[in-house]
Chains A and B, each alone.
Chain A
Amino acid sequence: MQRANFYSIAGLLCLGLALSAAECPNIPEVETRLVDLALNGSTTRVFQARGSNNVYQETKTIDIEEAIDLDSILVEIEDVIADADSVQISASSISYRIVVPQAGRSIANGQLSVERGSGGPVTIATGFSMDASAVTDWITVPLSSGGVNLVNDMLQDVLVAWQKGTSVPNSQLTYAVAGNSLPAGSETNFDWELKLTVSIVAPIEVDVIN
């Protein structure tokens, strides 16, 4: 092949590649976006399972407004939240872990209920078992819709109170746990921790170069 032809073909090849390629980028511009930011928040409580023989029952009350402190969860982004009314919050999970174990101890047929104020307990998790013989990582429990709805209603009130700068009405949330403590005939003595995780989405304004 003659040299001139070689360069012509090479040049055409280059031009063809450039023209046939995917979309050409444009000149970058600064553009504003409303981006849905997702955050998680959680609250934990330690339960001390003591003295129960065979049947274990315990209750713990928290103030949901203090436990789910949206000001602290959203502190890093509050200046750029585009619309506080568009913030959403929902219960994501309930999990537990053993923090101080008791050798050979377990809980069977566990049931967890939640109660807002004195509104009556609603089951949020049932039929779970807990091996308390060793320290564990967080273990998720399967949730029931009634309890999730109750928690979500409270979270909605937390959100509205945060948006309006008011207090959460009827903000006491009581956890009640019950189950069969095994083996029977010896006293229960272990500590465990319960965690409620909430998922939050907030629209924020961001400048990007596109």
Chain B
Amino acid sequence: MNRSLAAAAALILATLAVAPAQAQLEANLGAMTEENVKGYLSPFPTALSATMNSAIFRSGYIAKDKLQFQVGVHAMAVTFDDEDRLYTPTTPPDFSSDQSIQAPTVIGSTQYAEQFGDGGAVQYYPGGFDIQQLTVAAPQISIGGFMGTQLVARWFAYDIGDEAEDADFGEFKLFGIGVQHSISQYVPTMPFDLAIGGFYQNFEIGEDLLDSTGLHLNATASKRFSLLEPYIGIGYDQYDLTVRYDSEEFDGDEIEVEFDTESNFHFTAGSQLHLGPVHLHGEYNAAAETSFAVGLGVGM
């Protein structure tokens, strides 16, 4: 598969925006200390948390005892702020310098940064991939209607080749599962539908290069008006990210970098448009970052 075709496949198969540069990203990390890897990848945890924890629950209505089934694809995206594009690297242990510089993060400028040390020695820091937004898309399936409860799952796995010419593409794995339960079924006088839910996800890139898990707890309220069903969600997100790479400094030793857990409040406002068996939705999310999501589902 040539690179363009692989790229198109990556788009069609709805994977992570930054992930295709996996091999180069791993090579970039190899020359950096753990602390600088955290700085270089600092835009990732919040962006991943914001996107991965979106577009999961889009209605407060779950039938009490009638089969519900839906298959769809949802795309979630965040736009990075300018302040995410630079970080201040710490001087590596072997390098001696009094100069403080700023270097590009993984989403920043493609131009390298240089830090001057004793006697004119130089330490280079890699450029970023010049990315303005992170887009994650995932297929999702839901099945429910059993005592006002539905199961929701996401799953995706694809290996876009590991030959040299395709080395900047890698393997992506996403698995998520959760449950949502109707609360309004117990309160017949409630003027809208209300449900609570929880969702666990695991997302990996490459052979353990990036491993992340997310937990999303949520209460969703919605009201159906003919074709339209606006909804509001209030929830809590937690996201853990671990990066593993081979260090060039320690004879290929594997370095594991754990980022601080991202925990934050999550507010969602959106609407579904029901056109018979076809269901479209768009939503706004205020969480670790501001994000938007759109999606298409088919089912009943």
Where the two chains meet, the residues of A that have a C-beta atom closer than 8 Å to any C-beta of B are 3, 7, 10-11, 13-14, 17-18, 21-26, 28, 30, 33-42, 76-77, 79-80, 88, 90-93, 95, 124, 138, 140, 142-149, 152, 195, 197, 199-201, 204, 206-210
Task: Report whether B132 and A210 are in contact in the complex, using a CB–CB cutoff of 8 Å.
Answer: yes
A200 to B130, CA, bound (A): 20
Task: Report whether A37 and B122 are in contact in the complex, using a CB–CB cutoff of 8 Å.
Answer: no
A204 to B10, CA, bound (A): 20
Contacts of B17 in A (CB 8 A): 28, 208-210
Number of cross-chain contacts by CB at 8 Å = 191
A144 to B270, CA, bound (A): 63
B1-35 interface (Cβ within 8 A of A): 3-4, 7-8, 10-11, 15, 17-18, 20-21, 23-24, 27-28, 30-32
A143 to B141, CA, bound (A): 61
A200 to B110, CA, bound (A): 15
Is residue B64 contacting chain A, with contact meaning CB distance below 8 A? no
Task: Report whether B269 and A13 are in contact in the complex, using a CB–CB cutoff of 8 Å.
Answer: yes
Is residue B273 contacting chain A, with contact meaning CB distance below 8 A? no
Is residue B139 contacting chain A, with contact meaning CB distance below 8 A? no
Chain B residue nearest to A93 in the complex (CB) = B94
Task: Report whether A207 and B21 are in contact in the complex, using a CB–CB cutoff of 8 Å.
Answer: yes
From A25, A41, A80, A88, contact of B133 by CB (8 A): A25
Q: Which of B10, B96, B114, B165 has the most CB of A within 10 A?
A: B96
Interface string of B70-98 (1 = CB under 8 A from A): 00000001110100000000001111100
> Which 7 residue pairs across A and B have the least CB separation, nearest first?
A25-B77, A143-B119, A36-B112, A36-B127, A14-B269, A38-B126, A30-B7
Contacts of B153 in A (CB 8 A): none
Contacts of A207 in B (CB 8 A): 3-4, 7, 20-21, 168
Task: Report whether A40 and B31 are in contact in the complex, using a CB–CB cutoff of 8 Å.
Answer: yes
How many whole Å from B266's CB to the nearest CB in chain A? 13
B208-236 interface (Cβ within 8 A of A): 223, 225, 230, 232
A147 to B269, CA, bound (A): 63
Task: Report whether B24 and A204 are in contact in the complex, using a CB–CB cutoff of 8 Å.
Answer: yes
Looking at chain B's contact residues, the main secondary structure is mixed
27 A-B contact pairs sorted by A residue (CB < 8 Å): A11-B230, A18-B269, A18-B284, A21-B286, A23-B79, A25-B78, A25-B135, A26-B133, A30-B4, A33-B129, A33-B130, A35-B21, A35-B128, A36-B127, A39-B31, A42-B249, A79-B167, A144-B119, A145-B119, A199-B31, A201-B114, A206-B24, A207-B168, A208-B130, A209-B15, A210-B17, A210-B130
A91 to B232, CA, bound (A): 57
Contacts of A206 in B (CB 8 A): 20-21, 24, 129, 168
From B4, B122, B129, B225, contact of A90 by CB (8 A): B122
How many whole Å from A60's CB to the nearest CB in chain B? 19
Interface string of B144-168 (1 = CB under 8 A from A): 0000000000000000000011011
A90 to B225, CA, bound (A): 67
A93 to B223, CA, bound (A): 65
A23 to B289, CA, bound (A): 12
A44 to B248, CA, bound (A): 14
Interface string of B110-139 (1 = CB under 8 A from A): 111010011111111111111111010000
Contacts of A40 in B (CB 8 A): 31, 248-249
From B94, B127, B132, B270, contact of A92 by CB (8 A): B94
Is residue B191 contacting chain A, with contact meaning CB distance below 8 A? yes
Contact status of A3 and B124, CB under 8 A, knowing A23-B79, A140-B94: no
Contacts of B191 in A (CB 8 A): 3
How many whole Å from B169's CB to the nearest CB in chain A? 8
Chain B residue nearest to A21 in the complex (CB) = B290
Task: Report whether A38 and B94 are in contact in the complex, using a CB–CB cutoff of 8 Å.
Answer: no
How many whole Å from B10's CB to the nearest CB in chain A? 6
Task: Report whether A208 and B131 are in contact in the complex, using a CB–CB cutoff of 8 Å.
Answer: yes
Task: Report whether A39 and B27 are in contact in the complex, using a CB–CB cutoff of 8 Å.
Answer: yes
Task: Report whether B93 and A201 are in contact in the complex, using a CB–CB cutoff of 8 Å.
Answer: no
Contact status of A209 and B94, CB under 8 A, knowing A88-B124, A92-B121, A143-B117: no
A42 to B88, CA, bound (A): 24
Task: Report whether B117 and A93 are in contact in the complex, using a CB–CB cutoff of 8 Å.
Answer: yes
How many whole Å from A148's CB to the nearest CB in chain B? 4
Interface string of B164-179 (1 = CB under 8 A from A): 1101100000000000
Is residue B292 contacting chain A, with contact meaning CB distance below 8 A? yes
Chain B residue nearest to A149 in the complex (CB) = B120
Contacts of A17 in B (CB 8 A): 269, 284, 286
Contacts of A149 in B (CB 8 A): 120
